């Protein structure tokens, strides 16, 4: 997903990115916990693991950037 990779560079040091691959059995527990249903599926979490927002299917770069800015500006707990 080129949009996410570009944003990953822009948010380096402020937001951590983790990729869970659909066919990877080792990520099954994480996908179940996050409610992963399809690809693409982007889940934004606070540092404490609380789900802040999710995008299922395509998402515009500006919308994802705004959500990441909001996430990065929240205090960590």
Q: What is the pLDDT along the chain (77 residues), one digit of tens a residue?
A: 678 888 999 999 999 998 888 788 998 898 898 888 788 889 999 988 899 999 998 899 999 999 999 999 876 54
Distance CA 45, CA 24 (A): 21
Distance CA 4, CA 11 (A): 10
Write down the H helix ranges in 1-77. 2-10, 28-34, 61-73
Can you give the pLDDT at residue 75? 65
Tell me if residue 40 falls in helix, strand or coil. Answer: coil
Can you give the pLDDT at residue 19? 86
Can you give the pLDDT at residue 47? 87
Can you give the pLDDT at residue 12? 92
* Two structure tokens written together for 27: 């990520």
What residue spans define the domains of the chain? 2-67
């Amino acid at each position: 997903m080129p949009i996410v990779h570009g944003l990953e560079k822009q948010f380096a040091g402020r937001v951590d990115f983790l990729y869970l691959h659909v066919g990877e059995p080792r990520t099954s527990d994480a996908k179940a916990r996050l409610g992963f249903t399809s690809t693409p599926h982007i889940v934004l979490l606070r540092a404490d693991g609380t789900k802040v927002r999710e995008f299922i299917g395509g998402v515009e770069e500006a919308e994802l950037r705004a959500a990441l800015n909001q996430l990065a500006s929240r205090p960590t707990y």
